Structure 1
Amino acid sequence: MEMAILKPSFARKLNPEGYSPMHLALQHEHYSTVRALMTLDPKLIRVRGRYGITPLHYVAGKEGDMEVELLAEFLATCNSSINDLTSRCETVVHVAVKTHNLQAFKVLLGWLTRVYRTNILGWKDQDGNTVLHIAASEEQLEIFKLLMGCTDVNAKNFQDKTALEIFQDPSGDQDLAKRLCLLERRARRFTPTLSLSQFFSTKPTVYEKYKMFLGIRNESARNIILIVSTLIATASYQAALTPPGGYWQDNSTNTPANCTVVSANTSGIAIGKPHHVGNMTMKGLQLYTFTILNSMVFWASMCTIWATAITLLPDSALVYLSIGSFGIAFVVTVGVEFPKSQPAGGDLVVIFYHLLMLTAVCLPLYVWAMYKRVVNRIDAIGRHPGNLLGTKHRK
């Protein structure tokens, strides 16, 4: 450890047999040294040794309480280590399943679920097998049951076989048999899969074109746009709450017949056309001009935020829906505050903005959903976790 502190590069060196100091410490069960090295440099967990095996792969293939605990510590300390493959293109999940290490597999599955990386379960080794194919071929019933709910049972290996075609239930489990029959019926209704080359050979989808046009790769620029758009949306929303001239403070229902002169009552409050307390004081052209211009500014800022959020779906789904709720609140506010003396105009404004709201929310979601239907048909090696258009976690 003292040598590793003085010369950190030594901790990455491989001996003639192809093992790093952490590999050797694991082989000789010097777990305190393993934890010390991990504390010194978490990326030592990703050092590839012989056959491309990292310390993470090693502990995933070993049974025992201490090894399972180290596996969990490795994942928590260096989560990017889950992307590493052996020389046979095996993930750490492949290693756990091939060595029949059920305890390690449960740790991996639980961690992948919590960090939203279950797509790794669909990655294929050099033979085109996912972990589900391996569990099926080796008749690991419990692992097969766990995987059925979180991976594609219709993915084919390089022998053009699905896991359902490989699997033979040795236990006679009737419940599992029913579930398999249901999956097989669904598989027959699925659209034929695409290879990755076939997907790239097709023209970009509407969503891809949209993202290439509006996708802002510069994170600083995207943050500035979001901040400014949020400030504009807030200011225009506040203007709708406090319009120029404010609101009527009293109710008025009696207007002198055939008289355009504004009179005053004993309290000094002007009495003109009928109005209700809480309505805007503006009327006529001024009212419509202010409402239209303020609403245009509000919707322009909202659409800017939406345009940025859509390119980051599904990670930005909560922001997308929150902005939608904010827009609905704006529509309701305009409808409530519009003078009741002009009901036709108020109804038209509310109807128009409701239609605009539905279009702005539903149309991009529909386009994104169509894109996901196409992407979910891709049956390749599987190492494209939502990154076909350059998002993070690319392998």
Structure 2
Amino acid sequence: METLENKLFEAAAEGNVNSLKNLLQEDPIILDRVIVNNFSDTPVHVAAILGHVDFVREILRRRPEFARELNTRLSSPLHLASAKGHTEVVRVLLSDNSQICLARDRNGLTPLHLAAIKGRIDVVKELVQAKPDAAIVTVDRGQTILHLCVKYNQLDALKLLVQTIGDQEFTNSKDSDGNTILHLGVADKQVETVEFLLKVSATEVNARNLSGMTPMDILIRSRKNVRDEEIEESLKRGGAFGSMQNNSSVHKNRNMETPGSYLFFDQPDLNSNIPKNSWKRMFKQHDNWLEEKRSALMVVASLIATMAFQVGVNPPSGVWQDNSKPDSQALAWTYLASISVLTPEKDSEKQPFILVITITICIWLALMALLLIAHTIRLIIKIVRKLIKSLSPNRRIPGQGFTSHGSA
């Protein structure tokens, strides 16, 4: 058998005010019983999320406390109507008590936060007008409603809030990492958001976060994107600069291909309030930069060593062999002299490989000299052995397999 409570929720889902009145005539305390029984959602929650403004108005006329009732997710009817963008329902709910604008759901969000995240501009206007203080309520990690607008890419809501509140401290508010909404807009490559904020006179274009980075630093550190150049030009026009770079050097640093080559940090200010762990993070990043530089230099050194080795093992006229003529030294010096003559004097200092080739040839000549000496010694030893053998009194008797030491 269907209970009266079930019929009440069906009426709320349909927005049927006549059914509501009939149920109240049949059971005058049905609304009180719903509150006592602690249903997950009240009939006002159901009507609010579906936009049935007349049904909501009729219940609130009889029981205004329904506007403050929360479900198991700690959401009020105003949370649901704001998220769905039902402006008329929002007006009715606010007419009873605007204090409900400050209520937080399980995620710590107010009705204004939900309206801004969803881009419900008309609802945002109603809520800000009813309770301006709701705009300064922060959520997780110290984010303001402006941070949420940038995070969820709701530019229209951002414009409305900045222009309505019109407060410099509000516009430049920082999250727990010290990032302003300009930092976030640059990091997320939101060109329109960045351009809007740079036109707002209250915006601090060179504000630093806890890592000591300005919005320009964020752009330099971020992954390359097709919109980077547009954002960079906008920042420059707005007077933005990096922590250790002026505007003329930013473009130069962005053209460097070596990973981490754009990480520059200025010296810590003795009067700064930046925590020590932030500086540790910066120095760790600097160490990574040095490690990457070291790896790049090792690759270059390996290439130079390979070239030098090839020159050493393949000199002009080839490596000296037993059956070759000893003219390779003269050709090696001729090769070195040719390189020296053909290399312009003004560029010789800029080409260190000439020195490497010179040293390699000298080493090669030294090795050839040692090889010549070794073969000479070997030849002398051979000659000495033959002389000793020829002068020895021992002689071999023809046809016999032994050596005779005297006459028969």
Instruction: Using structure 2 for the length normalisation, give the TM-score.
Output: 0.41
Greater relative contact order: 1 or 2 (C-alpha under 8 angstroms, separation 6 or more)?
1
Instruction: Using structure 1 for the length normalisation, give the TM-score.
Output: 0.43
- Bigger Rg, structure 1 or 2: 2
